Chain A
Amino acid sequence: MANQVLMPALSPTMTEGTLAKWLVSEGDAVQSGDVIAEIETDKATMELEAVDEGILGKIIVAEGSEGIAVNTPIAVIIEEGEDASAIEVSAPEPVAPATAVAEPAPAAAQPEAQIAAPISEEAYTGSTTSMTVREALRDAMAEEMRTDDTIFLMGEEVAEYQGAYKISQGLLEEFGEKRVIDTPITEHGFTGLSVGAAFGGLRPIVEFMTFNFAMQAMDQLINSAAKTLYMSGGQMGCPAVFRGANGAAAGVAAQHSQCYASWYAHVPGLKVISPYSGEDAKGLLKSAIRDPNPVIFLENEILYGQSFDVPDADDFTIPIGKSKIERSGTDVTLIAYSIMVGVALEAAETLASEGISAEVINLRTLRPLDIDTIVTSIKKTNRVVSVEEGWPVANIGSEIAAITMEHAFDYLDAPVSRVCGEDVPMPYARNLEAAALPNTEKVVTAAKAVCYR
């Protein structure tokens, strides 16, 4: 019986790929497990193994073909004695791709930087390059490491493997194994070690594969990194950056999909940053590395592959503690951080088409919060909706609500509204996962509600 070989999904976020190379030819015998082709995904080149045994009857998709959608038939494996010429190529079965995650906000929705709040990028008139958030983060580390040799990068798979999410691509090659260090899977241990190294005069960048695993290191982050400066009467600070993916990824369920923003934002002694765009990623990570305090840097896996225009200059940085007005408006203020900025921008687009002018604030830093920008905007629009992936209880939106009460109570025309993750551990099933997360529609509904529309 003939078996079709389909273009496989080789990662949780892959929807198409390039068929780089066939390693077998028509007529070759294949065993299950044999590598038959090389496929390039957004992250890496992967080997495709045969799952059936037989003869490679026909190659349907030639090597070098790009943009082959997942599930497209690429070859047919037949049994010995079967006639290859009789093979009919049937259409692929329509199956939902694994990543039914809402297509993240297009970069195009990002307005021109000129609208931005008064921050240093305003003054930037130099050239920009379109690059992914992944590359922006790597460049930020590389540039800083070139200028200061006390900076080192430590974490699981950061060196030889080039990063589990390929953020540290090329760094081992450039900086060597003294400064780009693979650790055992011992988060509590290497976090404590990095705190010690920072006390000792170095500037560690610690990569958590994801922040879910930083929970193992929570004690060192809070009790050692955050509190020691205070306890030592200002003698001993901890100039370290703790960075990695935070928030929901796609289809990885409760233990790998959680937003920790409000946990860290609660802690005096830490600075907490959560970038959205490539420019945020680069400018803020550079500032974080230069900062003399422990900085928690919350990235987002789904954003890693998205491209944005990023300033080229080595000295381009974005100040910590300043938010950015991504889109100005007059009727309602949408306040978001990380991937939810994209959702808020989409919602603003929809609202605009219905006659509601929404201002979108990208918080960028969660501790200290940019109270000025938030309050000024609310005084203008008189309505506010916060948008985040975190759970509702004691989240960043709760803090925004409190700030609004304290600083702009008399300006409010409607109660503060919070759009956030549902109050449940992240479910695995695709439909439940989608229901558990905020989306454009939920933001639009909330914005209309506070506008009484």
Chain B
Amino acid sequence: MAKESTKRKASKKTTSENPTASPEELLQHYNDMLLIRRFEEKAGQLYGMGLIAGFCHLYIGQEAVVVGMQAAAKEGDSVVTSYRDHGHMLATGMEAKGVMAELTGRRTGYSKGKGGSMHMFSREKNFFGGHGIVGAQVPIGTGLAFAHKYKEDGGVCMAYFGDGASNQGQVFESFNMAALWKLPVVYVIENNRYGMGTSVKRASSNEELFSRGGAFGIPGVSVDGMDVLAVKEAGAKALEHARSGKGPYILGMQTYRYRGHSMSDPAKYRSREEVSKVRSERDPVDRVRQYILDANAADEDALKKIDADVKAVVSEAAEYAQQSPEPDLSELYTDILVEA
């Protein structure tokens, strides 16, 4: 089980010993994670073709984190994250078509083509972005939690941020306020080992990022972020803690980013072997696939069918994103202020 940070022992990965999930749940997780993976691969391709501009940060390798958390979340919970956001949007139920069309800057995108990869939102799905400034989403997520508490709507905010972001001053200011006011927020640190080209070891004096709430009395645990069931289990506990009025909780997801930081990262700071080792030994999609086969939840044919369905959704999204028209020039001056 997860280790409470107050004990401050080694930051060993914690994996659920006996993952329990129904066959339907397992298949759903597989589907959701695969959708993110295939979507991101397609986005990478479209970027390569010059159809996506600027920065494009892929989530490949980290799929289990957001899928596991969403599996534990309840209707009405809110989500906020960084620029590495495509996976979060898909996991909160936003449509692949609309996300891809935003990536290609078209009027049918979630931000009408005005936000791009790093800035997308869906009020309907309680997804509050998509933020380009490292760490900015942490106080924003704390504020979403403030609103949940104020409105007494029973919701919890999941504020996702990276290992690099965890060093930003505003993170600690947020921790203090969240603990002080017992705000219903779960801080999900996606520790993918690097902030751009800087490893955690080179940026953080205490590598056990999940323990950083200690000074504020915020419990934190380390979680195997490559195992969707471990994430779901830890997420459920953290969300329950926050929902019941006990205040914030920190989850340190041990995960890994397979691709470069953005599309233009030559990734010289880590070895090819390091990446292939994680891919072959800890891949989150392979893992859930194995769970399914071990539990006889489905056979290879059924999985192939899911593969094909997911591929179709992604192809359709890519097609839509290329066929949709650019925004009308009149959009340049819309959405700047709300008409009073």
Interface of A toward B, CB cutoff 8 Å? 6, 8-12, 14, 32-33, 35, 41, 43-47, 49, 51, 70-71, 93, 95-100, 156-157, 160-161, 164, 182, 184-186, 188-189, 212-213, 215-216, 249-256, 422-425, 427-432, 435-436
With both chains docked as a complex, state the minimum distance between the C-beta of A154 and any C-beta of chain B, in angstroms: 13
Are B198 and A157 within 8 A (Cβ)? yes
Are B49 and A12 within 8 A (Cβ)? no
Would you give 20 A-B contacts (Cβ < 8 Å), ordered by A? A10-B264, A12-B54, A12-B264, A32-B41, A33-B279, A43-B264, A43-B266, A157-B196, A160-B198, A160-B202, A161-B198, A161-B269, A182-B202, A216-B168, A253-B115, A253-B132, A255-B132, A428-B113, A429-B331, A430-B326
With both chains docked as a complex, state the minimum distance between the C-beta of B171 and any C-beta of chain A, in angstroms: 10
B105 contacts across to A, CB distance below 8 A = 251, 428-430
B198, B260, B267: residue with the most chain A Cβ atoms closer than 10 Å = B198
With both chains docked as a complex, state the minimum distance between the C-beta of B93 and any C-beta of chain A, in angstroms: 23
Are B332 and A428 within 8 A (Cβ)? no
A41, A44, A255, A428: residue with the most chain B Cβ atoms closer than 10 Å = A428
With both chains docked as a complex, state the minimum distance between the C-beta of B191 and any C-beta of chain A, in angstroms: 14
Are B264 and A46 within 8 A (Cβ)? yes
B48 contacts across to A, CB distance below 8 A = 6, 8-10, 70
B113 contacts across to A, CB distance below 8 A = 427-429, 432
Are B119 and A253 within 8 A (Cβ)? yes
Alpha-carbon distance between A327 and B92 when the two chains are bound, in angstroms: 56
Contact of B168 among A43, A185, A212, A422 (CB under 8 A): A185
* Known contacts A430-B326, A432-B329: A96-B50 contact under CB 8 Å: yes
* Known contacts A251-B53, A424-B333: A184-B167 contact under CB 8 Å: yes
Are B336 and A425 within 8 A (Cβ)? yes
What are the 5 closest A-B residue pairs judged by CB atoms, nearest first? A251-B53, A8-B48, A428-B116, A251-B54, A11-B264
A422 contacts across to B, CB distance below 8 A = 332-333
Are A432 and B332 within 8 A (Cβ)? yes
Are B196 and A70 within 8 A (Cβ)? no
| Extra contacts besides A51-B41, A160-B198, A254-B114 (11): CB < 8 Å | A12-B263, A156-B196, A161-B268, A185-B135, A216-B135, A252-B132, A256-B132, A423-B336, A427-B327, A428-B119, A431-B327
Interface string of B186-201 (1 = CB under 8 A from A): 0000000001111000
Alpha-carbon distance between A102 and B265 when the two chains are bound, in angstroms: 24
CB-based nearest A residue for B132: A255
Are A253 and B118 within 8 A (Cβ)? yes
Q: Does B52 have its Cβ within 8 Å of any Cβ on chain A?
A: yes
Are B55 and A12 within 8 A (Cβ)? yes
Alpha-carbon distance between A100 and B333 when the two chains are bound, in angstroms: 21
Are B196 and A161 within 8 A (Cβ)? yes
A96 contacts across to B, CB distance below 8 A = 50-51
Q: Does B204 have its Cβ within 8 Å of any Cβ on chain A?
A: yes
Q: Does B134 have its Cβ within 8 Å of any Cβ on chain A?
A: yes
A431 contacts across to B, CB distance below 8 A = 326-327, 329
Are B134 and A213 within 8 A (Cβ)? yes
B327 contacts across to A, CB distance below 8 A = 427, 429, 431-432
* Chain B interface category by residue count: 35 or more
Contact of B52 among A71, A98, A189, A423 (CB under 8 A): A98
Interface of B toward A, CB cutoff 8 Å? 41, 44-45, 47-55, 102, 105-107, 111, 113-116, 118-119, 131-135, 164-165, 167-169, 195-198, 202-204, 258-260, 263-269, 272, 279, 326-327, 329, 331-333, 336
With both chains docked as a complex, state the minimum distance between the C-beta of A168 and any C-beta of chain B, in angstroms: 12
CB-based nearest B residue for A96: B50
B55 contacts across to A, CB distance below 8 A = 12, 252, 256
* Known contacts A51-B44, A428-B105, A430-B105: A9-B333 contact under CB 8 Å: no
Alpha-carbon distance between A98 and B54 when the two chains are bound, in angstroms: 8
Alpha-carbon distance between A125 and B172 when the two chains are bound, in angstroms: 56
A161 contacts across to B, CB distance below 8 A = 196-198, 268-269
* Known contacts A33-B279, A216-B133: A428-B269 contact under CB 8 Å: no
A71 contacts across to B, CB distance below 8 A = 49-50
* Known contacts A250-B54, A422-B333, A429-B105: A255-B118 contact under CB 8 Å: yes
Are A429 and B196 within 8 A (Cβ)? no
With both chains docked as a complex, state the minimum distance between the C-beta of B207 and any C-beta of chain A, in angstroms: 12
B118 contacts across to A, CB distance below 8 A = 252-253, 255-256
Are B266 and A45 within 8 A (Cβ)? yes
CB-based nearest A residue for B283: A33
A11 contacts across to B, CB distance below 8 A = 263-264
Alpha-carbon distance between A213 and B51 when the two chains are bound, in angstroms: 27
Are A186 and B133 within 8 A (Cβ)? no
A44 contacts across to B, CB distance below 8 A = 264, 266
* Known contacts A98-B52, A98-B53: A435-B167 contact under CB 8 Å: no
* Known contacts A185-B164, A186-B169, A424-B333: A429-B106 contact under CB 8 Å: yes
